[in-house]
Amino acid sequence: MYDLSFTGRNIDIAASLLIKGEAVAIPTETVYGLAANALNIDAVTKIFRIKKRPSFDPLIIHISSFDLVDRYVVSVPEPLRRLAEAYMPGPLTLLLEKKSIIPDVVTSGSRYVAVRVPAHDLTRALLAKLDFPLAAPSANPFGYISPTTAQHVADQLGSQLCYILDGGPCEIGIESTIVGMTDNGEIHVYRKGGLTIEQIQKVIGTIIVEDYSASNPDAPGMLTHHYAPSKPFVIVENINDIPKGENVGVMAYRQFVPGIPMHHQVVLAPTGRFEDAAHNLFAGMRYLDTCQVDTIYTQLLPEVDLGIAINDRLRRAAAI
Ligand code: TXA
Ligand code: MG
């Protein structure tokens, strides 16, 4: 555990570092982000370097209010504007045609930029102090589990950061849902996330949901193997049928599994609430990754509501 990193709740410190072109970790309601001035190419390059992120994987820009979006995008198609009105601030990211003020390094050369208004008081207060948007991917090394506490960020990236803005544990716990519109007017969900498919359908009607395994040129970051612990992570049909033993890890939905040490088990949601499961998912994966276990077994949740996005994370973590 790394505990020398400079962590706190001071948005003036965070703002002054960001203005200087440094990278700072910030809390959001989904996961922690690794933020830098989105209009400053050198600052954005630091994010890619710290995360060891391939340059083909574009970044989301974060703004304090959707009212500011016209500074950075050419236009907002009507259905996406309705989504923004319904769900921003919140766990929704929209892909919109960018203005040239957004450097190509942010979008990995795409003419679309991903835009989000986080619903976290501390980060919104920070954004309100800045006259630029913050480019921020999740604050984890590329491919590993996203951080949902300041300690998670410090554990992995602490030695490379000058400040971690600590906003407590992320309420939602999984990343935002990414939505865009194709040239022929279809609404696509490119990443399942904290805003559910059902919530989007309520506002838009028919949408197309990209599958986790799709090799999809529109969302180059949606790699099949992602969010992964370093231990083998195996999805089983029936969690009670797994091999029993001391070195077995379990991530169960509602109940502990008999015959396996309790301290090698994580129960995501004892009462079955999807919100609890999402909130506990990444912290649970990290915990089990530190246990003396050879393999972590898990089960899928019902494929509705937040279960859809949670299962997407479980399948990617289990993919070889
Ligand atoms: O909840 C979240 O969205 C968090 C917090 C920090 O805001 N951020 C996050 O960022 O999850 P990241 O970098 O881990 O995932 C961003 C993904 C990329 O991998 C890519 O798939 C998609 O967003 N993306 C970003 N810009 C895009 C673009 N211009 N076109 C297509 N996909 C894009
Ligand atoms: Mg990420």
- Summarize pLDDT for 250-283 with one digit per residue, the tens: 999 999 999 999 999 999 999 999 999 999 999 9
For 143-147, 216-220, 289-293, which range has the lowest pLDDT when averaged over its residues?
A: 216-220
- The reply to whether ligand 1 has any atom less than 6 angstroms from the CB of 30 is yes
27 lines ligand 1 (CB under 6 A): no
- Ligand 1 pocket, mutate which of 108, 174, 175 (most atoms under 8 A from CB): 175
What residue owns the CA closest to ligand 1's atom 20?
A: 221
> C-alpha angle with apex 19: 139 to 154, nearest 5 degrees?
25
Is 90 exceeded by the pLDDT of residue 180? yes
Would you state the pLDDT for residue 2? 45
1 has pLDDT over 50:
no
User: 190: Cβ–Cβ under 8 A, 6 or more apart, which residues?
Assistant: 95, 178, 179, 180, 210, 216, 218, 219, 222
Instruction: Give the pLDDT confidence score for residue 193 in this predicted structure.
Output: 97
Q: 117: closest CA among 23, 222, 29, 179? A: 29
- 35 three-class SS: strand
The single residue listed with the structure tokens 């969010």 is: 227
Q: What is the pLDDT of residue 5?
A: 53
Label residue 21 left, alpha or beta by phi (over 0 means left) and psi (-120 to 50 means alpha): left
pLDDT in tens, 2-20: 444 589 999 999 999 999 9
pLDDT value at residue 320: 72
Please write the tens of the pLDDT for every residue from 13-39. 999 999 999 999 999 999 999 999 999
Q: Is the CB of 298 under 6 A from ligand 1?
A: no
Tokens representing 266 are: 């994580």
Instruction: Give percent of the chain with pLDDT exceeding 70.
Output: 94
Q: Which ranges of the chain would DSSP assign to H, the alpha helix? A: 11-19, 41-51, 78-87, 104-107, 121-129, 150-157, 197-204, 274-290, 306-318
Torsion of CA 11, 16, 19, 23, to 10 degrees: -70
Q: Is 59 in the pocket of ligand 1 (CB under 6 A)?
A: yes
pLDDT value of position 4: 46
| Backbone φ/ψ region at 272: left (φ over 0), alpha (ψ -120 to 50), beta | left
Q: Using CB atoms within 10 Å of the CB of residue 13, give its burial: 0 to 12 exposed, 13 to 18 middle, 19+ buried.
A: middle
**Residues that place a CB less than 5 A from ion ligand 2:** 138
Which residues lie closer than 8 Å to 238 by C-beta, 6 or more apart?
A: 299
Cα(175) to centroid of ligand 2, in Å? 8
Residue 93 Cβ inside 6 Å of ligand 1? The answer reads: yes
**Which pair of structure tokens corresponds to residue 26?**
């910030």
Burial of residue 244, with CB atoms counted within 10 A of its CB: 0-12 exposed, 13-18 middle, 19 or more buried: exposed
pLDDT at 143: 86
Q: Is 218 in the pocket of ligand 1 (CB under 6 A)?
A: yes
- Specify the pairing of strand 134-135 against strand 60-62: antiparallel
